Structure 1
Amino acid sequence: MLSDTALAAFRSALGGERVFDDAATRALYASDETPRRVDPDAVLFPGSHDDVVALVRVAVEHRVAITPRGAGSGNVGGALPSPGSVVVSFECMRWVKEFDPVNRLVVVEPGVVTEEIDRLARSAGLFYPPDPGSAAYSRIGGNLAMNAAGPRAVKYGVTRDYVLGLRAVTGTGEEICTGCRTTKGVTGYDLTRLLVGSGGTLALVTEATLKLLPAPEGVATLRVCFASNHAALEAVSRVMRQAVTPCALEFMDQHAIDAIRPTGAADDLPDGTRALLMVEADGRADDLPRQIEALEHALAGDGMLEMRSGFDRDAIAQLWAARRSLSHAVKRIAPLKLNEDVVVPVSALADFVDFIDHVAGAQRLPIVSFGHAGNGNLHVNVMVDPDDGDALARAHLALESIMLRVIALGGTLSGEHGIGTEKRKFVPLEIAPATLELMRAIKRQFDPHGLLNPGKLFPD
Structure 2
Amino acid sequence: MALSDASPPTQPPLPEALLRSLEAAVGTDNLLTRAADRWPYGGDNSRLHAPPQAVVFATHTEQVQAVVRGCREHRVPVIARGRGTGTTGATVPDRGGVVLSLERMDRILELDPDNRLAVVQPGVTNQALQDAAGRHGFFWPPDPTSAAYCTIGGNLAYNSAGPRAVKYGTPRDNTLGLTAVTGRGQLLRTGVHTTKGVVGYDLTRLLIGSEGTLGIITEAILKLTPLPEDKRTLQAVYESMDAAAQAVSRIMAQPVVPCALEFMDGRAIEMIRHYSEATLPAGAGGLLMIEVDGLAAGLDAAAERVAAAARGTGCLSVELARTGDEVKALWATRKALSPALRTIAPKKINEDVVVPVSKIPALINGLERLGTDHGITIVSFGHAGNGNIHVNLLVDPDDAAQMKAADACLDGVFDLVLGLRGSISGEHGIGLVKRPFVARELGEEALSLMHTVRQSFDPDGILNPGKGLPPATDTTA
TM-based fold match above 0.5? yes
Distance 1:13 1:20 in 2: 13
Q: Deviations over 1:74-114 (max 9, x none)?
A: 00111111222111110110011111111111000000001
Partner residue of 2:383 out of 347, 372, 382? 372
Alpha-carbon distance in 2 for matches of 1:322, 1:271: 15
8 Å contact 1:70–1:142 — kept in the other structure?
yes
Q: What does residue 28 of structure 2 align with?
A: 16
For the pair 1:390 / 2:401, whether they are aligned, the reply is yes
1:310–1:263 Cα change, 3 Å = same
Residues 49 and 94, structure 2, Cα contact 8 Å, conserved in 1: no
| Equivalent in the alignment of 1:451 | 462
RMSD: 1.1
Aligned pair partner of 1:44 in 56, 60, 81: 56
- Give me the whole-angstrom Cα distance separating, in 1, the residues matched to 2:143 and 2:319: 24
Deviation at 1:310, TM superposition (A): 3.5
Match of 2:198 in 1: 186
After TM superposition, the structure 1 = structure 2 runs for residues 242-281 of structure 1, keeping only pairs within 5 Å, are 242-265=254-277, 268-281=279-292
Q: Secondary structure at the match of 2:188?
A: strand
Say whether 1:96 aligns with 2:108: yes
Count of paired positions: 459
Cα offset, 1:311, TM superposition: 2.3
Superposition deviation, residue 269 in structure 1: 3.4
Kindly indicate whether the alpha-carbon contact (under 8 Å) linking 1:10 and 1:55 is maintained by their aligned counterparts in 2. Answer: yes
Instruction: Report how far residue 165 of structure 1 moved.
Output: 0.6
Structure 1 gaps of 5+ residues are none
**Percent identity at matched positions?**
48
What amino acid sits opposite 2:144 in the alignment? P
- Cα distance, 1:354 vs structure 2: 1.2
Which of 64, 67, 70 pairs up with 1:55? Answer: 67
Q: 1:229 aligned to 238, 241, 251, which one?
A: 241
1:83 is aligned, of 95, 100, 105, to 95
* Residue aligning to 2:143: 131
The question of 1:215 aligning with 2:215 is answered no
C-alpha displacement of 1:349: 0.6
Structure 1: which amino acid aligns with 2:311? A
Q: What is the rounded CA distance, in whole Å, between the counterparts of 2:460 and 2:267 in structure 1?
A: 46
Q: Does 1:294 align with 2:305?
A: yes
2:71 alignment partner, SS class: helix
Aligned to 1:421: 432
2:167 maps to which of 155, 163, 176: 155
C-alpha distance in structure 2 between counterparts of 1:272 and 1:395, whole Å: 27
Q: State how far apart, in whole Å, the 1-side matches of 2:264 and 2:177 are.
A: 36
Task: Give secondary structure in 2 for the equivalent of 1:336.
Answer: coil
Runs of 4+ residues deviating >3 angstroms: 268-271
Distance in 2 (CA, whole Å) between partners of 1:270 and 1:392 is: 32
Judged with a 3 Å threshold, the aligned counterparts in structure 2 of structure 1 residues 15 and 271 are, in CA distance, closer, same or farther, namely closer
Secondary structure of 1:285's aligned partner: coil
What's the CA shift string for 1:7-51, capped at 9, x where partnerless? Answer: 222112221111101111221011101122101101110111110
Aligned residues of 2:266 and 2:283 also touching (Cα < 8 A): no
Amino acid at match of 2:231: V
Q: 1:67–1:82: 8 Å Cα contact kept in structure 2?
A: no
Structure 2 unmatched ranges of 5 or more? 1-11, 472-477
SS of structure 2 residue aligned to 1:57? helix
Is 1:381 aligned with 2:384? no
Corresponding residue of 2:119: 107
Aligned twin of 1:65: 77
Q: What amino acid maps onto 2:255 in structure 1?
A: A
1:315-326 residue pairs with structure 2 within 5 A? Answer: 315-326=326-337
Which whole-Å CA distance do the structure 2 matches of 1:205 and 1:272 have between them? Answer: 47
For residue 398 of structure 1, report the CA deviation from its aligned partner.
Answer: 1.1
Structure 2-normalised TM-score? 0.95
- Following superposition, the deviation at residue 259 of structure 1 comes to 2.5
Quote the residue 1:200 is aligned against. Answer: 212
d(CA) in 2 for partners of 1:212 and 1:234? 33
Q: Which moved more, 1:325-334 or 1:130-139?
A: 325-334
Distance of 2:40 and 2:344 partners within structure 1? 26
User: How far apart are residue 3 of structure 1 and its match?
Assistant: 2.1
Aligned to 2:348: 337
Check conservation: 2:269, 2:280, Cα contact below 8 A. no
Q: Please give the alpha-carbon distance, in whole angstroms, between the structure 2 residues aligned to 1:158 and 1:166.
A: 15
Match of 1:307 in 2: 318
Kept in 1: contact 2:56–2:101 (CA 8 A)? yes
